[in-house]
Chain A
Amino acid sequence: MVPLWMFLLVAAALFAIGLFGVLSRRNAVAILMGVELMLNAVNINLIAFWRYRTPDTMIGQAFAVFVFVVAAAEAAVGLALIVAIYRRRQSVAVEDVNLLKW
C-alpha cells in the first residue's frame, strides 16, 4: 500500500524540478520541457486525489485528460513559436528575445 502523501510528495518534487527548469534554463525548448514536467506533476496530483478520494466518479481522470489536451496544444504552439523565432534570430535563448524592454 502506498499512502497518498507519497504521491503528493513526488508530484511536489517534480513540480519544483520543472519550476527550476523553467526559471533557469536559457533554451526555450528546455523551458518548454520544464513546463511539461510541471503539467505532469499536476496530473499526478489529480489522479492521486481521484484514486484516494473520489474513485466512483470520473472527475479526476476527466481533468487529467483536459490537461493532456492543454499540454498538447501548448507544445504545438510553443514549439511553432520557437521554430519561427529561431528562423529569424538564429537563437532560441530567451535572453536574446528581449526586444520588449525599457
Chain B
Amino acid sequence: MIDWTNANYLPWLIPVPPLLAAALIFLVTNRSWWLTTTTALVATITSWVMATIMLLRAIGVAFGEALDGEAFGSTAPWMDLGSTQFQIGVLVDPLTTAMLFMVPLAILMIMIYSVGYMAHDPRRERFFGYMSLFAGAMLLLVVADNLLLLFIGWEVMGFCSYSLIGFWFEKESAHRAGVKAFMTTRVADVIMLLGIAYLYAETGTLSFREIFFNEALLAGLAAKPAIIFGGLSAAGLIGVFLVIGTIGKSAQFPLHVWLPDAMEGPTPVSAMIHAAAMVSAGVYMIIRMYPLLEAGADPHHGVYSAPLLLMAYVGAFTALFSAVIAVAQNDIKRVLAYSTISQLGFMMAALGIGAYIAAAFHLITHGIFKALLFMSSGAVIHAMEHGEHHAHEHGHHVHNAFGGHGRFDPQDMRNMGGLKGRIPVTWFGFLTGGLALAGFPLFTAGFWSKDEIFAEAWHLGFGEGFGPAMFVFVLLALAAFLTAFYTMRQLAMTFAGEPRTEAAAQASLGGPKTVVSTFMQGPLIVLGVAALVAGYIGVPQDFPLFGWLFSGNGNPFHDFVGGTLPHHPPTLAFNVVPVLFSFVVALGGLYVGYRVYWRRPLAAGQPDPTQLALDRISPYLWQWMSHKFYVDELYQRVFVQPSQWLSEVLTSKIIDRIVIDGILHTIAHVAGWIGELFKRFNRVVIDGVGDGIPQAIGAFAGWFRRVQTGNVQQYLLMAVLAALVIFLSAAGLLVRISPTTVLIALAALVVIIVVLNLIGRVWGGIAE
C-alpha cells in the first residue's frame, strides 16, 4: 500500500485531477455548464493545493523537510525492454519546485478567468475539457523524472494546442492556425524525438538524475564523436536535437511563425500557451537537460558547446528580431505574442551563455506577468465586443477607426483608446503586467529577472571577454529597449486618450456583479500583485538596499534552484554597470514611448508616428516590420509552394502521367495481345479439363453440404459423441486397465453411429 502522505508519492497525484477532469468532462458532464466548470475548477484547485503542499515541503516551510541537493520522487517499473526495465517516475527537485509555484498558479488563474471569458460560448464545455487535458499534460511534464514521460506531456500539449487554437474552427484562419501550430511544432518534435532516441541508445536510461549525476557518463558523451555530423560530439548532437525541439515548442526563430497565429484561439488559450504551459515547457526542458547540453563545455570560462552556441545566437537574434516586429503590430494580442517570442529569446540566450538560473528565474516571472497580460488583453477584447454590441443596439454605426469597412475588429488597438477609466481593474492588470514586461526598475518582477540575465551577460561578455556573451548582451539590450518602447505604445494606444470608436466609448465588462466580470477580474488582481512582488525572491545579494531587504542570507532563488545540480553555479559579484544598463533601456524605452504615444494620443485614422518617423529613412522599413519580415511568405514560397508544385507538376504530370502511365500502357498493350493468344488456347484446351473438375467438385459438395442441416440438436449429438470419445480415452488412462479393446469397440460404435446418421441425413436431404 502506498502512503500518499509521503512526499515522495505526492507528485504522482499532481497531474491526476486535471486529467481525470478532462475525462469526466468529455465523457460525462459535457451537457452541463455548471457541472463542467465545477469539475474543472475543483480539479485545478486540487492540483494547485497539492502542488503548494509539495512546494512548501520542498522549501521546508511549515514541514521542515527542505530539499538540499536531494529530491522527492519515486519510480515504478513501466515496461520491459528486453533485458532492461524502463522506469517511470516522478521527481521534485528545486527546479521542479520553482515550476510548481508558477505553473499551477497560472493554470488556476486561467481556469477561473475562462469561466468568465467562455461563459457565452456554445462549445464552452468542450473548451474546458481540452483545457483540463492541457493543464494535466503540463503538470505531468513538470513532475516527470525522465525524458520520455516529459515527452508524453509535451506531445499531449501539442495536440491540445492544436485543438484549442483551432477551437473556433468555423473561422478559416483559426483552423489554419491550428494546423500550422501543429505542423511547425511537429517538425521540431520529430527532431527532438530523434535526440531522445539517440540519448537512450547511448546511455540506456532517460532518467534525469541518473544521467546528470553521472559525471563519467557525461564526460564520455562529450568525448564520443556523433554518428553523423562528424564535428560534433554525441552530447552535442543530442543537445542540438533537443534544442531544435525547444526552438519549435518555444517558438524561436525560424520556427516562431506558429505562435502569433495561435492568437486565433480564445484568449485563455493564448495565456495558457504563452505563460503557463506550452512555450514554458520548451525552456523548462532545456533547463532540465542543461548538464547534457553543457557537457564538455564550460561557458563560465569561455568554452562553448554546439547546442549552447546555437541557443545563444538563436535566442539573442530572436529576442531582437521579434521585438522589432512587435513595434509595428496593431493587433493587441499579436504584440503580446511577439513579446513572448522575444522574452523566450532572452531565456534561450541566457541559457546559451550559461546563465541557466537567470533563465529559470525569468521563466517564472515571465509566466506570471505574461498570463496577466494575456488575460488583461482578453478582458479588453471582451469589453470591446461588449461595447460594439451596445453601440449596435443604440443604432450607432460601428466602423473601424482606421477607415476599414470590413468587419469590426475588437482586437485592433487602433480601434481602442481611452479605456483607462472604463475598465479600471483591467487597466491595473495591464499596467502592472506591461511594466513588468518592460522591466520597470525595482518594483516589478520583470526587472529583477531581466537584470540577472544582463548581469550574467555583462560579466561574461565584457568582464571576461567571451564573444558570444558580448553578442548576447548587445542584442538583448537593444531588445529590452524596444520591449519597453512597444509596451508603452501598447498601453498608450489601448488605454490613453479619448476613445477612437463608438465601441471603445461603450466598452465595459458588463457590470460589477456579473459572472463575466467577477471571474475575469479576480485573477487579474491576484496575478497583478504577483507580477509586482514575485521578483523579490531573486534579488541579488549585494544589490543596494533591496539586497539587504530581501536577500539577507543570499539570493534565495539562486541558492535554491542552484541546488538542482551537483555543481552550484557561482554567485556573481554586484556590478553597477549592467544594472544601470537595465535602468537605461527600460526607462528609456518607456520614456520614448511616453513621448510619442501617451503625450499626444492617436486620433482616429491618424497614422502611427513611428511609421512616419521610419518612413523618413526608408518607406520599406515599416512595411517589412508590420509584415513580420515576410517570414511567413518566405515559407510559403520556399516550402509550401515548391512542394505543391512538386506534387502537381513533377509528380503528377510528368512522372505519373507520362513516365509511369506510358510504361504501364505499353506493358498493358503487350499483355493484352499475349492474353488474346492465351485466351484462344484456354477456350479449347484448359476449359475442357478445368471446368470438368470444379463441376465434379461442385456436384459432390452440393450433395455433401446437406450434412449441414441447421438442426442444432443434431450438431449437439455429434458434439456429445466426440466428447464421449475423448472421455473414453481419458477414462482408459484413469482406471489403468488395458483400454485398447474397449476403446476400439466404442470408437467403432461411434463411427458406425456417425456414418449411419450421416447417411440417414443425407438420404433424407436428397429425398426432400
Direct contact of A and B (CB under 8 A): yes
Minimum CB–CB distance for A62 against chain B, Å: 26
In the bound assembly, the distance between CA atoms of A23 and B711 in angstroms comes to 11
Q: Would you give 6 A-B contacts (Cβ < 8 Å), ordered by A?
A: A94-B711, A98-B711, A98-B712, A101-B708, A102-B706, A102-B710
Contact residues, A61-102 vs B (CB, 8 A): 94-95, 97-102
Known: A23-B720, A94-B711, A98-B710. 13 other contacts (CB 8 A): A22-B716, A23-B713, A24-B713, A94-B712, A95-B711, A98-B712, A101-B708, A101-B709, A101-B710, A101-B711, A102-B705, A102-B706, A102-B710
Contact residues, B710-751 vs A (CB, 8 A): 710-713, 716-717, 720
Minimum CB–CB distance for B378 against chain A, Å: 58
Minimum CB–CB distance for B749 against chain A, Å: 16
Q: Does A42 contact B (CB under 8 A)?
A: no
Q: Does A17 contact B (CB under 8 A)?
A: no
In the bound assembly, the distance between CA atoms of A97 and B715 in angstroms comes to 13
In the bound assembly, the distance between CA atoms of A24 and B713 in angstroms comes to 8
Nearest 7 CB-CB pairings of A with B: A101-B710, A98-B710, A100-B710, A98-B711, A102-B705, A101-B708, A94-B713
Chain B residues, CB < 8 A from A99: 710
Chain A residues, CB < 8 A from B720: 19, 23
B→A interface (CB under 8 Å): 705-706, 708-713, 716-717, 720
Chain B residues, CB < 8 A from A19: 720
Cβ-defined partner of A23 (8 Å) among B706, B708, B709, B716: B716
In the bound assembly, the distance between CA atoms of A19 and B720 in angstroms comes to 9
Residue among A19, A95, A99 with max Cβ neighbours from chain B (10 Å): A95
Nearest neighbor of B719 in chain A, beta-carbon distance = A23
Secondary structure class of chain B's binding surface, majority of residues: helix
Interface range for A: 10 to 19
Minimum CB–CB distance for B542 against chain A, Å: 78
Minimum CB–CB distance for B665 against chain A, Å: 46
Chain B residues, CB < 8 A from A24: 713
Residue among A31, A97, A99, A102 with max Cβ neighbours from chain B (10 Å): A102
Minimum CB–CB distance for A26 against chain B, Å: 8
Minimum CB–CB distance for A102 against chain B, Å: 5
Chain A 47-66: CB-based contact to B (< 8 A → 1; otherwise 0): 00000000000000000000
Cβ-defined partner of B709 (8 Å) among A22, A31, A98: A98
In the bound assembly, the distance between CA atoms of A15 and B705 in angstroms comes to 33
Chain A residues, CB < 8 A from B708: 101-102
Chain B residues, CB < 8 A from A98: 709-712
Nearest neighbor of A26 in chain B, beta-carbon distance = B713
Minimum CB–CB distance for B740 against chain A, Å: 24
Check A97 against B712 for contact (C-beta < 8 Å).
yes
Nearest neighbor of A97 in chain B, beta-carbon distance = B712
In the bound assembly, the distance between CA atoms of A22 and B713 in angstroms comes to 8
Chain A residues, CB < 8 A from B705: 102
In the bound assembly, the distance between CA atoms of A101 and B705 in angstroms comes to 9
Chain B residues, CB < 8 A from A31: 713
Contact residues, A27-61 vs B (CB, 8 A): 31
Chain A residues, CB < 8 A from B712: 94, 97-98
Nearest neighbor of A100 in chain B, beta-carbon distance = B710
Minimum CB–CB distance for B525 against chain A, Å: 62
Chain B residues, CB < 8 A from A101: 708-711
In the bound assembly, the distance between CA atoms of A100 and B710 in angstroms comes to 5
In the bound assembly, the distance between CA atoms of A71 and B620 in angstroms comes to 88
Chain A residues, CB < 8 A from B713: 22-24, 31, 94-95
Chain A residues, CB < 8 A from B711: 94-95, 98, 101
Nearest neighbor of B716 in chain A, beta-carbon distance = A23
Chain A residues, CB < 8 A from B717: 23
Chain A residues, CB < 8 A from B706: 102
Chain B residues, CB < 8 A from A94: 711-713
In the bound assembly, the distance between CA atoms of A88 and B204 in angstroms comes to 66
Minimum CB–CB distance for A97 against chain B, Å: 7
Minimum CB–CB distance for B700 against chain A, Å: 14
Minimum CB–CB distance for A45 against chain B, Å: 15
Minimum CB–CB distance for A67 against chain B, Å: 19
Minimum CB–CB distance for A44 against chain B, Å: 19
Residue among A24, A31, A98 with max Cβ neighbours from chain B (10 Å): A98
Minimum CB–CB distance for A24 against chain B, Å: 8
Chain A residues, CB < 8 A from B716: 22-23
In the bound assembly, the distance between CA atoms of A100 and B720 in angstroms comes to 20
In the bound assembly, the distance between CA atoms of A71 and B705 in angstroms comes to 35
In the bound assembly, the distance between CA atoms of A31 and B711 in angstroms comes to 13
Chain A residues, CB < 8 A from B710: 98-102
Nearest neighbor of B702 in chain A, beta-carbon distance = A102
Chain A 5-33: CB-based contact to B (< 8 A → 1; otherwise 0): 00000000000000100111000000100
